[in-house]
Structure 1
């Protein structure tokens, strides 16, 4: 690996002179500065991020704070991360991953070491403790999600409240009057995570506005938990003919668990999901698209704009898009079949 000493020897100067060129701490003649610059380019030397920061230049690194904690569906998180990394590379930037469980301390640590030009923050809570820290740090940041109080921040998100309402409106238009909601794991709601709370709020408000009977329950990610929630919904909503699912990990079990309770999809129970297109396609279910790729790209573009001195909009909400597939039908008189044994 090329060091600052190698650059100094190649340029015929002292290592301290190379350091002064990089940090700008002391004046260096234009001729020497040019010679050092040529040596850096020829040798392929990569200055330490902190040195570039001291020089007032960028590190060309974005810090992505991603959630690796209870209740999070990792494949969806990775879709966001992949989009962020791909878009960052298009702007000749790298991505530093910071786990969300580090909380505010993680933000301060990264900011204190000058290792990144700005932050991209995922899994944002309605009353997220990281928000005031981001304001205090004064570093450019974009949130994938939006807290209740977002003053002075830049946020991009799917309009999850509208997504929850869109599912209800779609099912009511098909004639359904009793609709269940199978939501995210309990830990996600306990953290007051924005996307989960807003989807549930949109679903509940639309159900009330439309005058339909509804019940909403959280669900853990394993099959037994999903079947227990499905059974509870069918017991509490004896005339349930439709189910909205906002839980990617549980979605694969839903059709099987409904069948185990004597219900067919879509003949007896219509299912609409809020999830990535690929998952809905595999299961042939009508869905509101979770555009992870678009959101990740937009977040990077907004942060790059801020780094370039622009003032992007404070809040960008993507409208929900519903794609009609199988898994839905107009309601019919449900005759419960005997529950089946699930192996």
Structure 2
């Protein structure tokens, strides 16, 4: 089996590499859904025989029917905000039911191997992927798999993909613009936990880049730092920030789990909101409304709906844009005020 371990299943992707064609071409040869040139067809079938590839019953059935199931690949990793992630998942499930599809939730962090397993199982018609990294190791395989996919988030190079997300770079800019308009000239971004940045997670890096870019453009000094999870860690990080930068008059908080501890810690550190420190959050609007927070809402429900809609279009082999970015909107509440008020 061309060097594969004993008992290891041969997949369509393996056949495609052996034949030097795309995985979709192998799928079309086996299903007969599209006309493929005789030369390419012969090469694919030769690879099928050489590798001993045997489609399982579910895969053979896909030639004539759909599974009416999509997979949501949602690896549970350090630093992920589970309540927000579940908002995305709920929106995906609800929207998928409107298209007569169920959702298979995949939470294990298997990377490309997990995608190969899903594609080889023939249990799903397509796949949605979350927690996308700038240089995501799953992307090269996604381009080769015959399985339609949509990413919630987008890598540095989205060529050949379909992605949807909030424009987090612009979200960071919007927060700084609001604070600069209110006269704040020294601000700080309290970002995601360090592990999220270390993984290269797109939304965290793009928000930070947006904050830095807008600050430079508007003549605002901006400190940025990751904030770890838990009230004690948040209070420690915030105290260290204010000790190093006592003239900071405004905070942008992206770490959803840190918003509550930040608001609770500031009075204990001698800072009133908004008289001494203005606070803007990038977080779900429901939470911000309860806390009276000025915020750029994370539109989890809308992103989830659009992701499923794009996937359904891909299942129908309709063209879709490579990247769909939702524009951020700022909701002003009582946590921000003019500097020095």
Q: TM-score range by the shorter chain?
A: 0.7 to 0.9
| Partners of 1:119 and 1:289 in 2: CA distance | 26
Q: In the aligned structure 2, how far is the partner of 1:175 from the partner of 1:105?
A: 51
**TM-score under structure 1 length normalisation:** 0.81
Structure-1 residue corresponding to 2:285: 277
The alignment partner of 2:128 has SS state of strand
Aligned residue number for residue 127 of structure 1: 135
Corresponding position: 1:111 with 2:85: no
Q: Structure 2 stretches of 5 or more lacking a match? A: 1-30, 33-55
The equivalent residue for 1:57 is 65
1:3 aligns with none
Q: Which residue of 2 aligns with 1:230?
A: 238
Report deviation, 1:82: 0.1
RMSD of aligned Cα (Å): 1.8
Report deviation, 1:231. Answer: 1.1
Equivalent positions of 1:88-103 (< 5 A) are 88-99=96-107, 101-103=109-111
Match 1:253 to one of 237, 247, 261 = 261
Give the Cα separation in 2 of the matches to 1:51 and 1:160.
39
- Between the aligned partners of 1:217 and 1:198, the Cα distance in structure 2 is 14
Q: Cα distance, 1:293 vs. partner? A: 0.1
1:187 to 169, 173, 195: 195
> Does the alignment pair 1:220 with 2:228?
yes
| Counterpart selection for 2:78 from 70, 73, 83 | 70
Q: Deviations over 1:52-92 (max 9, x none)?
A: 74443211110101131100010001000000000000000
Q: Establish whether residue 322 from structure 1 lines up as the match of residue 334 from structure 2.
A: no
Instruction: Give CA-to-partner distance per residue, 1:281-317, whole Å, 9 cap, x none.
Output: 1111000010000000000000001111211111100
Closer/same/farther in 2, CA of residues 322 and 100 from structure 1, 3 Å limit: farther
Candidates 202, 210, 230, aligned match of 1:202: 210
In the alignment of these two chains, the number of paired residues is 289
Tell me, yes or no, if the aligned pair for 1:52 and 1:58 is still in contact at 8 Å.
no
Q: Does 1:294 align with 2:302?
A: yes
User: Which one of the candidate residues 307, 311, 321 is aligned to 2:315?
Assistant: 307
- Quote the Cα distance in structure 2 between the aligned partners of 1:228 and 1:143: 35
The CA deviation at 1:135 is 1.0
SS of residue in 2 equivalent to 1:239: coil
Shift in Å at residue 256 of structure 1?
Answer: 1.1
Q: CA deviation at 1:144?
A: 0.4
Separation in 2 of the partners of 1:165 and 1:228? Answer: 27
Q: Where in structure 1 are there 5+ consecutive unaligned residues? A: 1-23, 26-47, 334-343
Contact preservation (8 Å) 1:214, 1:237: no
